[in-house]
Amino acid sequence: MATGPTTGTDGRPAAPTGTARRRLAMGALLVLAVGWSITGLEVTVDRLLGAPGDAWDIFRRMFPPAFAEAAERGVVGKVFESVHIAWIGTLIGALASLPLAFLAAGNVAPAWVRVPVRQLFNVIRAVPELILAMILIPITGLGPWAGALAIGVHSIGTLGKWATEAIEGIDEGPLEAVAATGGRWASSMRWGVLPQILPVVTSQWLFRFEINVRASAVLGMIGAGGVGSELVSQLVFRNFPAVGAVLLMTIVVVLAIDTVSAAVRRRIIRGAGRAPGDVVGGDRNAAVLVDLTGIGR
Amino acid sequence: MNGPTVAARPTRPRPGARTWVIVGVLITYTVFAGRQVGFDISTFWNVWSNPLWEKFWPVPWDWVLDWHNVLDPLLETFQIAVVATLVGCGLALPLAFIMSPLTSPNRPTMIVSRSVMNVVRAVPDLFWAKLLVTAVGIGAFAGSWALSVFSLAVMVKLFSETVDGADPRPLEAARATGGRHLPVIRTGVLPTVLPEYVAYGLYVFELNIRASVVLGLVGAGGIGRVIEAQRQYFRFDRVLGILLLVFVVVIVIEQVSVAVRKRLV
């Protein structure tokens, strides 16, 4: 329609046309969506106004946290049990997903293998750990092994997807070099691909471990081992100081693991001798997005 | 050694002592953790003799596709996810600006808000749900609260990284004109980060749909409530039907959202 920038009377370029209308449409859509959603949530005015107070009340009653009581009940051991579950689960996921990722990558696997393996990853990712644990508990019995297996199986989905993306992003040169020496498919994977992806994949495993620590804490809530069971039982008794202690212990352990794991990941990806946080701009955002989503750049 | 020059093969680098120590520690820990969780390899073949498997089939589609049984709670799941995404992302916008060194009003506020958000993120999502169910009662209301907190935590993490990496030059220009803090951010930073904000918002919506499926397991409303009830009756065929339906819906939403996000960024 318009050709070239139209100039207003005061010499300023005119605001682009249509933006206001589009904004209005978007705004109306959002308001409609929220309005429709709120109708389903049993919201009443006094509930809405009372909720922050109720939440604050519970939060306040958690102080001071009853550490002695919690320690007596073995909460410390339970928190570490969650960490053990996450570790074993991550290892199961890692060991199962790595070979599968080679079969799912577009540059090293034929389409008839690739498509089903990718769909397998998608299906696995769609089933939450909690549901997997429910299915596994009848076989393994209540306890940490059900949780570890559930986490392991679920991790195959994400780890496989991330590793596939790592393989698809490699430099093809080494592959050609192996092919030129007459290597078979397995050798080209071992010598052409694996050394390139290993640092990235290891850091993906560590990142998944961080996620899994949280997931395994949650799994305890349905009896699959770890700290979740303590939280639930203390909440049932409305023993809020003990709840506070359980929460604080979980937070401390989770934060400690996050910090250590992030440092190790940084060391693996960037190597020694550089100050942390020195990657600027777009790289860093892309890294975070890939970290959290596995969506790729 | 003379004669034809055959280059000596370079010696293969040997891993140092530190590597061995690290490997040793990791293996020891793995064995220890394996014993702690009761690692039992026989489960891998016993899985196939699980008496539950036959309960999964056939899927009673007429029950699953019933409005009252499944579709209504599924809609509730959506409503939770929509509200939680909007509340969480809405709060995340100012918080992310406070948390980024580029746009923070002052250092103490930045440090305090960063630490608070780190702690919030360290609490697993279903712990939030359980706590809020205890606080405000069972139902979708608690669920949308819990998911709002979760969205806020994820969104702030993603978006504050974007703000950290924003181009500082428009900001400097706006400051140089003598603008106050808020207008400076509004004109200097917001336009450059807005597309990513919307993209992350969509991503958080995807996460919320997935997360709200399990919220019901702790009494926080949505489709998980139905899954939990049917599981207690051992109606795994119905559970499978619900899961398949949810899977299809999640995939469709993800495809749309990924397409929109690609266009945005």
Contacts of A123 in chain B (CB under 8 A): 247
Asked if the structure places residue A56 within a domain, the reply is: no
What pLDDT sits at residue A8?
53
Asked if the structure places residue A73 within a domain, the reply is: yes
Closest by CA position to A120, among listed A164, A62, A181, A70: A164
Asked if the structure places residue A143 within a domain, the reply is: yes
**B79–A36 CB contact, under 8 Å:** yes
The residue in chain B having the minimum alpha-carbon distance to the alpha carbon of residue A251 is: B122
**A144–B123 CB contact, under 8 Å:** no
Q: What's the rounded Cα separation, in Å, for the pair A249 and A62?
A: 13
Asked if the structure places residue A280 within a domain, the reply is: no
Instruction: Give which of A30, A37, A238, A291 to mutate to test B binding, by max B Cβ within 10 Å.
Output: A37
N-to-C CA span, chain B? 62
Instruction: Give which of A48, A125, A218, A260 to mutate to test B binding, by max B Cβ within 10 Å.
Output: A218
Contacts of B201 in chain A (CB under 8 A): none
**Letter for the amino acid at A241?**
P
**In this structure, what token pair is assigned to residue A103?**
């079969």
pLDDT, greater one: B55 or A197: A197
Quick one: how far is CA A244 from the chain centroid? 25
**A87–B239 CB contact, under 8 Å:** no
Contacts of A137 in chain B (CB under 8 A): none
> Residue B227's beta-bridge partner residues?
none
**In this structure, what token pair is assigned to residue A18?**
């249509």
Closest by CA position to B59, among listed B225, B233, B234, B244: B244
Q: Which three-class secondary structure state does DSSP give residue A49? A: helix
Mean of per-residue pLDDT scores for chain B: 84
Instruction: Evaluate if residue B139 carries a pLDDT over 90.
Output: no
Asked if the structure places residue A8 within a domain, the reply is: no
Measured in angstroms, the CA of A239 and the nearest CA of chain B are apart by 12
Q: Which three-class secondary structure state does DSSP give residue B188? A: helix
pTM of the model: 0.83
Q: Is B230:B238 a contact under the CB 8 Å cutoff?
A: yes
Contacts of B86 in chain A (CB under 8 A): 30, 33-34
Of all residues in chain B, what percent carry a pLDDT higher than 70? Answer: 96
**B134–A134 CB contact, under 8 Å:** no
Give the phi and the psi of residue B66 in degrees, each rounded to 5. Answer: -80, 140
Q: What's the rounded Cα separation, in Å, for the pair B144 and B155?
A: 16
Contacts of B214 in chain A (CB under 8 A): 128, 130-131
Q: How many domains does chain A have?
A: 1
What pLDDT sits at residue A249?
92
Which H or E run contains A61?
A: helix A45-61
Helices marked H in A190-239: 194-219, 228-236
A–B: how many Cβ contacts below 8 A?
Answer: 181
Asked if the structure places residue A52 within a domain, the reply is: no
Of A78-87, B115-124, B147-156, B254-263, the one with minimum mean pLDDT is: B254-263
User: Averaged over B62-76, what is the pLDDT?
Assistant: 82
Q: Is the ipTM of this complex over 0.90?
A: no
User: Could you count the other beta carbons within 10 Å of the beta carbon of residue A291?
Assistant: 18
**B119–A251 CB contact, under 8 Å:** yes
**Letter for the amino acid at B172?**
E
Selecting from B125, B130, B157 the residue whose C-beta is nearest the C-beta of A232 gives B130
pLDDT, greater one: B59 or B35: B35
Residue A188 belongs to domain with CATH number:
1.10.3720.10
Residue A156, Cβ density class (10 Å: 0-12 exposed, 13-18 middle, ≥19 buried): buried
**A247–B123 CB contact, under 8 Å:** yes
Q: Is A147:A225 a contact under the CB 8 Å cutoff?
A: yes
Q: What's the rounded Cα separation, in Å, for the pair B193 and B89?
A: 14
Cα–Cα separations (whole angstroms), residue B260 to A11, B179, B201, B243: 36, 34, 11, 25
Selecting from B43, B126, B203 the residue whose C-beta is nearest the C-beta of A139 gives B43
Asked if the structure places residue A172 within a domain, the reply is: yes
Q: Is B227:B216 a contact under the CB 8 Å cutoff?
A: yes
Cα–Cα separations (whole angstroms), residue B259 to A78, B144, B253, B255: 43, 26, 10, 6
N-to-C CA span, chain A? 34
Closest by CA position to B134, among listed B123, B124, B145: B145
Contacts of A215 in chain B (CB under 8 A): 124
**B158–A221 CB contact, under 8 Å:** no
Asked if the structure places residue A120 within a domain, the reply is: yes
Selecting from B127, B157, B243 the residue whose C-beta is nearest the C-beta of A127 gives B243
Selecting from A51, A238, A281 the residue whose C-beta is nearest the C-beta of B165 gives A281
What pLDDT sits at residue B4?
63
Instruction: Evaluate if residue B196 carries a pLDDT over 90.
Output: no
What pLDDT sits at residue A2?
46
* pLDDT one digit per residue (tens) for chain A, 297 residues: 444 555 556 677 777 777 778 888 888 888 888 888 877 777 777 777 777 888 888 888 888 888 888 888 888 999 999 999 999 999 999 999 999 999 998 888 888 999 999 999 988 887 888 888 888 887 788 889 999 999 999 999 989 998 998 898 888 899 899 989 998 888 889 888 998 899 889 988 998 999 899 999 999 888 888 888 888 888 888 888 999 999 999 999 999 998 898 888 888 877 665 444 444 333 443 444 444 443 332
What pLDDT sits at residue A284?
41
Measured in angstroms, the CA of B35 and the nearest CA of chain A are apart by 9
**B127–A217 CB contact, under 8 Å:** yes
Contacts of B164 in chain A (CB under 8 A): 284
Q: Is A170:A208 a contact under the CB 8 Å cutoff?
A: no
**A40–B76 CB contact, under 8 Å:** yes
Instruction: Give which of B25, B35, B127 to mutate to test A binding, by max A Cβ within 10 Å.
Output: B127
Contacts of A218 in chain B (CB under 8 A): 124-127
The residue in chain A having the minimum alpha-carbon distance to the alpha carbon of residue B207 is: A293
**B37–A85 CB contact, under 8 Å:** yes
**Residues spanned by the domain of A245:** 67-275+287-293
User: Could you count the other beta carbons within 10 Å of the beta carbon of residue B89?
Assistant: 24
User: Averaged over B4-13, what is the pLDDT?
Assistant: 78
Contacts of A57 in chain B (CB under 8 A): 135
What pLDDT sits at residue A155?
93
Confidence of residue B222 (pLDDT cuts 50, 70, 90): confident
Q: Is B99:B114 a contact under the CB 8 Å cutoff?
A: yes
What pLDDT sits at residue A7?
55
Is the peptide bond preceding residue A64 cis, with omega within 30 degrees of 0?
yes
Of A53-67, A73-87, B39-53, B225-239, the one with minimum mean pLDDT is: B39-53
Domains of chain B: 58-264 (1.10.3720.10)
The residue in chain A having the minimum alpha-carbon distance to the alpha carbon of residue B157 is: A288
Q: Is A145:B43 a contact under the CB 8 Å cutoff?
A: yes
Q: What's the rounded Cα separation, in Å, for the pair B192 and B100?
A: 15
The residue in chain A having the minimum alpha-carbon distance to the alpha carbon of residue B76 is: A40
